Amino acid sequence: MLGRDSRPKITDLPMPSKSTKNSPSRRAVRGRTNPRPHSSKVTPKEDLFDKAFRLSPHPIGITELNTGRCLDINDACLQIYGFQRHEVIGKTTLMLGIWPDPQERAKLIDRLRSEGSVRNAEVSMQMKNNDLRHFLISTDLITINGKRCLLTIGSDITERKQAEGALRELNELLEHRITERTAALCTVQARQQLLLQSTPVVLYARSTTGDFSTTFISENVVEQLGYSPHDFVEHSDFWVTRLHPDDRSQVLAHLSTVLEQERRVYEYRFRHRDGKYRWLYDEVRILHDQAGVPVELIGFQIDVTRRKRAEEELHRHQTKLEKLTAKLLTAQELERQRIARELHDDITQRLASLALDAGSLERLCTSKPALLPYCRNVREAAERLADDVHTFAYRLHPSSLEHLGLEAAIQDHTHEFAQRTALAVRYVSRNVSKAIPIEMATCLYRVTQESLQNVLKHAEASMVVVRLLGTSTGVGVCILDDGKGFEGKEARSRGLGLLSMEERVRLAEGTFHIRTRPGDGTEVHAWVPLPDVR
């Protein structure tokens, strides 16, 4: 990859990264229609655009139309695609394999030949590591040294595409902004103008002191915010006075720290010419002179209003989902309580009465020995069924959780689990508060209950440790077994148990995680804060 000093300026494109003095590319550049005088220096504006080419977060590339050979790309493009510069320069896009379907490139070329330019075309590209990413690209035909070339500027929309998949009702593509472009662009000034008009990124420069007045802003600010560059440059306070009042102090504070941090990224609202506010993503860096003195703030801004609206909509949906989940869990607990009461107060009592009647019948049949075994079996079956129903009712809703607290309820459950399964279960508790709200206690009890059930069903363990520990900020439970463990990605395929536990803890504003690997057992950790220490 070229260094800062050795890489050609954008005003000198196209040029191979390491050409010799007499290479055809250098001869072609010396033969341009309007060559730059040998003794002239790069103007500040040209240097600005060269920096814009290098610092742009969007991938930019120049390729030959007929051969597809790459002439130059910026660092953002190399970083996104995963290539080194020497792997790309001189190679065609088909050789690099970045088009999953070469026919798509052919269609793009046909469209370019007929229309002259393509704006905001949505394409899918294959990275060096074979990942597939999605881009919005703007492409124009330009002429360099007599050859027709493509100037392509892209915007990575992979994350946006994923968000659109999650929110189908928000699945809207960015509006195509199609403007006519001149066909023959062979001078440095034309290429600079094309770069600024084709990208959705607005470039700017501001002073480093005072109200950070705008000293330069690219022409495409008209499309983004409705104002002309003259509006920003003519009035020193134009930019700052149109910041949203709620964002202004924070934005100015961010800019004040750029001199120390060299780079700053922030988002804020800016009043459009139509009076409505647009969300802008702004990334700014400081430009120094040769002596290291700060000269200007150089940055770019992107309209992210659609993304912010999508995030707000997603947040509203998430909030609704959390409320619904909380209601469902509450309803589930209430239904468990109702069923447990009915089993305890009705079914178990009737079974107990049936067992007593069977016992009386057994005593009445002492004179008929042949009937005694049948009577005894009926009585014992009724007693076992009564015990099973009682145990089941307790699992649905343990009364000790409300009357004795979380510590006693978990201890009772682990003891019952050990007796029922014959597994070695060790219970440890320390510093557990007696005043734990029933919602928090129910959450940790259900996590323990579900975890022990998973151990029985999946772990093939011989030993289980249950720890209930209080901290200065809350209380947590850990269930550890010495079973076979599993791959972390298998957790989602094990039914609703783990998801239910995680959701319960999340709604309680706690933390939930699992540590496991094949052959090394499993640890389930759940922690919830107590209300008075949040």
- How much is the pLDDT for 458? 85
Type of residue at 414:
T
For the chain, percent helix, then strand, then coil, each to nearest 5?
Answer: 50, 25, 30
* Stretch (H or E) spanning 530: none
**Strand, coil or helix: what is 46?**
helix
Please provide residue 456's backbone torsions phi and psi, each rounded to the nearest 5 degrees: -65, -40
Q: Residues 21-68: pLDDT tens digits? A: 333 333 333 333 333 434 445 566 667 767 777 778 889 888 888 888
- Distance of alpha carbon 54 from alpha carbon 11, whole angstroms: 12
Give strand pairing partners of 476.
Answer: 469, 527
Closest CA relative to residue 200, chosen from 175, 224, 178:
224
Give, in order, the Cα–Cα distances in Å from 493 to each of 265, 382, 480, 487, 503. Answer: 39, 39, 20, 11, 16
- How much is the pLDDT for 443? 85
Give strand pairing partners of 263.
Answer: 285
- How much is the pLDDT for 26? 35
**Which tokens go with 40?**
């002239």
Give, in order, the Cα–Cα distances in Å from 422 to each of 383, 462, 463. Answer: 22, 9, 10
Type of residue at 302:
I
- How much is the pLDDT for 402? 72
Give, in order, the Cα–Cα distances in Å from 3 to each of 53, 85, 101. Answer: 14, 11, 34
Closest CA relative to residue 187, chosen from 7, 27, 51, 35:
35
Which positions ≥6 away from 502 have C-beta within 8 Å?
A: 512
- Judge contact between 127 and 133, C-beta under 8 A: yes
The predicted model scores a pTM of: 0.39
Inter-axis angle of helices 497-507 and 305-342, nearest 10: 110
Chain CA centroid to CA 171, Å? 17
- Judge contact between 489 and 524, C-beta under 8 A: no
Chain CA centroid to CA 24, Å? 47
- How much is the pLDDT for 192? 57
- How much is the pLDDT for 278? 93
CB-count burial class (<10 Å; 0-12, 13-18, 19+) for 20: exposed
**Which tokens go with 224?**
């983004």
Task: Compute the CA torsion angle 112, 113, 115, 119 (nearest 10 deg).
Answer: 10
Chain CA centroid to CA 232, Å? 35
Please provide residue 280's backbone torsions phi and psi, each rounded to the nearest 5 degrees: -120, 135
- How much is the pLDDT for 332? 66
Residues of the chain where predicted confidence (pLDDT) is lower than 70: 1-46, 49, 166, 168-199, 322-349, 351-352, 386-387, 389-400, 488-497, 532-534
